[in-house]
Structure 1
Amino acid sequence: MEDGSKQWRFKARKDLTSASDITIKGMLKKLNEAIDSTDPRPTIRLGCGDPSVYPSFRTTPVAEDAIVDAVRSAKFNCYAPTDGILPARRAIAEYLSSNLPYKLSPDDVNLTSGCKQAIEVILSVLAQPNANILLPRPGFPSYEALAASRHLEFRHFDLLPDEGWEIDLDAVEALADDNTVAMVIINPGNPCGNVFSYQHLQKVAETARRLGILVISDEVYERITFGVKPFVPMGTFGSIAPVITLGAISKRWVVPGWRLGWLVITDPIGVLKETKMVDSINSCLNICSDPVTFIQGSIPKIIEDTKEDFFRNIIDILRRSSGMCYEILNDIDCLTCPHKPEGSMFAMVKLNLSSLEDVVDDIDFCLKLVKEESVVILPGITVGLKNWLRITFAIEPSSLEDALGRIQSFCQRHAKKQ
C-alpha cells in the first residue's frame, strides 16, 4: 500500500453471518427492535419458549436448594471430567432408563452445556467431506445454522400438518443417498407441538436401518405431553437403528439458563462403538467447554428429589393454555391451527393472507403486530414454513388470553373489507 501500512490478510466468514440470520434469536432481535416504546401496555412475548420468567412456571425449590447445597459443599469448584461428573451421569442414565426397555450405563451419557452444545458436538462429528444430514421442516433452525457453520450439507423432509405433523417417511427415503449420515427428529415437537406415536417412531427406526443412517433424537421436551399420546423415547428402538438422544433439564425443570444438557448413546447393539463414533464424540468433547461444575453436582438431588406434583402442575397449565390457544386462534378468520398441540410449548398456525388487506407475508404480519399490539410471535419462515406462525403458549394464562385478544383485534383491523 502507498502509505506503507500492512495489507491485512484476514477477513470474516460471510457464511457465519448468514447462518446467524436464520436463527430464532436473530429474528426475535429484529422484532424486539420494532416494539413501540410509547405503547403503555406490557409487551407479551409469544416468540420464545422460555417460561421461566413467569411465576406459574418457577422451578421447584428442590432444584434451587440443590444448587445452593452444591455450591456450599465446596466439592464442585474443580474442573470436571470431559464427559461430566460420574454421579450426574449415573443419575441421568437411571432417569432416562426408566422410560427404556434396557438400562443405560453412565458411560452412555455425556454432559454438555445445554442441548445446543449437544447439537454442536454431534454435527461436528458427522461433518465429514461430502456428508449430508436430513432435517425436519418445520424444525429448530439451530440445526441448519450449526450445520452450515460446519460445511455439513442439510436436506429437508416435511412434517405433514394434516397427519398430526408426522414425518413424510417416503420423502426421507427419496432424499437420502450414499452420503447421507443421519436424520434428525424432534419429539415432542418444536415448533409443531406434536408427539410421535410408538408405531410412527418404529417406522422411523426401520427407515433409518434400511438407509444405514443414524437417528438423532432431540428430546429436550421429553415427558412434556398433555394429549392422548404418551412420550416414547426414540432410544426404545435402538436395537433397530442406532440413536443419539439429545436432552437437557432446561424445559422439564424450567431452567434454560442453567445450561445442563446431555448427549446419550442409545445403541444396545454397539453399532456406534464399532464404527468409532463413540471415540469421535469423546474427542470432540475434549476440545469443548464443560457445563458448570456445581450444576453437574446438583443433578442427582434435582432428579431424585423433585416431586411429581411439580411436573403435574406444569403439565396442567400447558394443557389448559394449549386448548385456549387452539380454540381462540381457530376462531380468527385469517388463522388456522391444523393440529391441537399435544406436547412441548408451541403451536404452528397457518396464515391465510387472502383474508388480510395489507400484509405481505409472515414477517410483515409479525412486524406490524408487534408495532401495533406489542405482541411478539415468530414468523414461520424462521422454522422453515413461509406464511405460518409459531406461537408459544407457555406463559401466564392471563397474559396469553390478553395476547390472543390483541392478535384477534389486529386481524380484524387488517381484514379485507367485504
Structure 2
Amino acid sequence: MKTEPNLSIKGILRMLMANIDDEKNMRVISLGMGDPTAFSCFTTTSIAEDAVLDALTSQKFNGYSPTVGLPQTRRAISEYLSMDLPYKLSPDDVYITAGCTQAIELAISILATPNANILIPRPGFPIYDICAAFRNVEMRHFDLLPEKGWEVDLDAIDALADENTVAIVVINPGNPCGNVYSFQHLKKIAETAKKHKIVVIADEVYGHLAFGSNPFVPMGVFGSTVPVLTLGSLSKRWIVPGWRLGWLVTADPNGILKNAEIVERLKKYVDICGGPATFIQAAVPQILKETSDVFFTRTLGILKHSADLCVKKIKDIACLTCPTKPQGAMTVMVKLNVLMLKDIIDDTDFCFKLAKEESVILLPGVTVGLKNWVRITFAVEPSSLVEALERVKTFCHTHSYEPKG
C-alpha cells in the first residue's frame, strides 16, 4: 500500500479506517489521532463550558469580530503568555486564528517571499509541508536526534541555512516525538537562528503539557535574542480541539518584525481569513482566568500514566523499540524492525495490515518523515491502550519469522 507524498495525518487515518475488516466484529481502537476527546477519561473543565455558554446566551457575540480577534481575547492571551516571559506582550502582538493549523498557514504565508525556504524538523508535523506547497515555499528538513531526546541537529541547521532561509520551525513539546526541550537547548536554537538572521516559528500547541524532568519553556523567553512567532491554541491543554481557537503571537520585544514589515503583512493577511466563532473568542478571558490548577494537574497525571504504560507495553513487543520515553505532549515515535517480520514491507504496510487484522490504528512514520517508524498516541484511556498494544503484540507474533508457542 503506497501513500501520496504530503498526505495529511487525517488523510492517512481515513485510509486506515477504510481498511478495517468489519467482518471481524472487533472494536476499533485508534492510537493514531491526537484527539483525546474520543476517550472518556479526557474531558474539558466545566469552567470552559460555562464560559462558552455564558458568551453564547448573552447574545452579545453573534456578529463578526475584528479580523485580528476580539480586543478582550487578544488582551487575555497576551497576559496569559506573558506570565512565562521576561517581558510583557501587548494585545497588539496577538492574532486570533481558527486553531493552530490556521496559525501555521498564516505564519508560512507572511514569510513566503520569492525563493524563500523554511527549515522544518524531521520527524515533524506534515501540515507545514502541505501549507508550504501551496505557497511555493521550499521546506528543508533537519533531523531530530532520538539518541539525544529528539534534540535538534544544530550542525544540520548550519548546513541547510542560506541567504534565502527565512525561518526555522521548533515544535515543543514535541509532536510526534513527545520530547520537551531544556532551557539550554532552546537557547542554543535561538542563538543559531540569530546567527543566520532567521525567525523562529515556535509551535507550542502542546504548551505546558510536560510531565517529565524538563519543564515547559516557551521559545518566547528568547525573544530578545531572535524574533519568535509563537503558535498555540486552547485545543490540547483544555482538551477542546473542535473549538478551533488558536493564536499567532509576535514575541519580539526589539521590534525586528515591525521593521521588516512582517507585522503589516500579518494585519493585511488576516483581513482575508476567517477566524474562530465570535462567541468562542468571547469565552477565552474567563477560560484563561478561572481554570484551576487542579484541572491541569489531573490531565498531566493521566498523560504521564498513559505514557509510562505505553512504553512498558512496547518493551514486550520484539519488533518495536522506543528510544526515548516521552516527557510531554500526547504521542511517541517507535522504531519498527521490519526485518523481524515476514510479509511486511515497511511501516505503511505494517499499519494497513494491522488495521485489517486487529482493528488497531497506528500512524505510519513515513507520514511524519521517518520510514519504518510508527507514531503512537498515548492520550487514551488505559484499558483501551493496553488492549490495543496487546493486539499489536499478537499481530507481530503472527507475522514473526519465528513465532513461539
TM-score by length of 1: 0.95
The equivalent position to 2:186 in structure 1, one of 190, 197, 201, is 201
Question: Is 2:233 the partner of 1:248?
Answer: yes
Alignment partners' CA distance in 1, 2:126 and 2:239? 21
Q: What residue number does 2:18 align with?
A: 33
Q: Larger deviation: 24-33 or 196-205?
A: 24-33
Output the amino acid matched with 1:278. Answer: V
Q: What residue number does 2:165 align with?
A: 180
Question: Is 2:342 the partner of 1:357?
Answer: yes
Q: Give the gaps of 5 or more residues in structure 1.
A: 1-16
**3-state DSSP class of the match of 1:135?**
strand
Question: Is 2:112 the partner of 1:127?
Answer: yes
Alignment partners' CA distance in 2, 1:361 and 1:190? 22
The equivalent position to 2:384 in structure 1, one of 377, 399, 404, is 399
CA drift of 1:225 comes to 0.6
Q: What residue number does 1:348 align with?
A: 333
Output the amino acid matched with 1:188. Answer: P
Alignment partners' CA distance in 1, 2:285 and 2:78? 11
Alignment partners' CA distance in 1, 2:332 and 2:136? 31
Q: What residue number does 1:330 align with?
A: 315
The equivalent position to 1:64 in structure 2, one of 19, 36, 49, is 49
The equivalent position to 2:32 in structure 1, one of 34, 40, 47, is 47
Alignment partners' CA distance in 2, 1:18 and 1:146? 16
The equivalent position to 2:206 in structure 1, one of 221, 228, 233, is 221
Output the amino acid matched with 1:275. Answer: A
**3-state DSSP class of the match of 1:56?**
coil
Alignment partners' CA distance in 2, 1:308 and 1:406? 36
CA drift of 1:330 comes to 2.1
Task: Number of aligned residue pairs: give it.
Answer: 401
**3-state DSSP class of the match of 2:232?**
strand
**3-state DSSP class of the match of 1:162?**
helix
Q: What residue number does 2:62 align with?
A: 77
Q: What residue number does 1:142 align with?
A: 127
Alignment partners' CA distance in 2, 1:314 and 1:417? 41
CA deviation map 1:79-109 (0-9, x unaligned): 1011100111111111111111111111111
C-alpha distance 18-415 of structure 1, shift in aligned 2 (>3 A): closer
Alignment partners' CA distance in 2, 1:240 and 1:330? 42
Q: What residue number does 2:249 align with?
A: 264
CA deviation map 1:160-205 (0-9, x unaligned): 0000000001001100111000000100000000001000000000
CA drift of 1:149 comes to 1.2
Question: Is 2:374 the partner of 1:389?
Answer: yes
**3-state DSSP class of the match of 2:376?**
strand
Output the amino acid matched with 2:322. Answer: C
Output the amino acid matched with 2:300. Answer: I
CA deviation map 1:256-306 (0-9, x unaligned): 000000000000111001111100111111111121100000001111111
The equivalent position to 1:116 in structure 2, one of 90, 101, 112, is 101
**Which residues of 2 match residues 82-93 of structure 1 at below 5 A?**
82-93=67-78
Alignment partners' CA distance in 1, 2:308 and 2:53? 37
**Which residues of 2 match residues 365-376 of structure 1 at below 5 A?**
365-376=350-361
Alignment partners' CA distance in 1, 2:291 and 2:285? 10
**Which residues of 2 match residues 220-239 of structure 1 at below 5 A?**
220-239=205-224
Alignment partners' CA distance in 1, 2:187 and 2:316? 36
**3-state DSSP class of the match of 1:136?**
strand
CA drift of 1:354 comes to 1.3
Question: Is 2:8 the partner of 1:23?
Answer: yes
Output the amino acid matched with 1:264. Answer: V
Alignment partners' CA distance in 2, 1:409 and 1:54? 23
**3-state DSSP class of the match of 1:405?**
helix
Output the amino acid matched with 1:298. Answer: A
CA drift of 1:58 comes to 1.0
Alignment partners' CA distance in 1, 2:341 and 2:196? 44
Question: Is 2:272 the partner of 1:287?
Answer: yes
Q: What residue number does 2:83 align with?
A: 98
CA drift of 1:386 comes to 0.3
Alignment partners' CA distance in 2, 1:109 and 1:131? 25
**3-state DSSP class of the match of 1:140?**
coil
**3-state DSSP class of the match of 1:304?**
helix
Output the amino acid matched with 1:364. Answer: D
Alignment partners' CA distance in 1, 2:339 and 2:286? 54
CA drift of 1:414 comes to 0.8
CA drift of 1:126 comes to 1.1
Give the share of equivalent positions with the same residue, in percent.
58
CA deviation map 1:318-364 (0-9, x unaligned): 00110011111122110000000000000100001111111100000
The equivalent position to 2:281 in structure 1, one of 284, 296, 312, is 296
CA drift of 1:397 comes to 1.0
Output the amino acid matched with 1:167. Answer: V
Alignment partners' CA distance in 1, 2:116 and 2:169? 14
Output the amino acid matched with 1:182. Answer: A
CA drift of 1:18 comes to 5.9
Output the amino acid matched with 1:407. Answer: V
Alignment partners' CA distance in 1, 2:347 and 2:157? 27
After TM superposition, where is structure 1 displaced by more than 4 Å over at least 4 residues in a row?
none
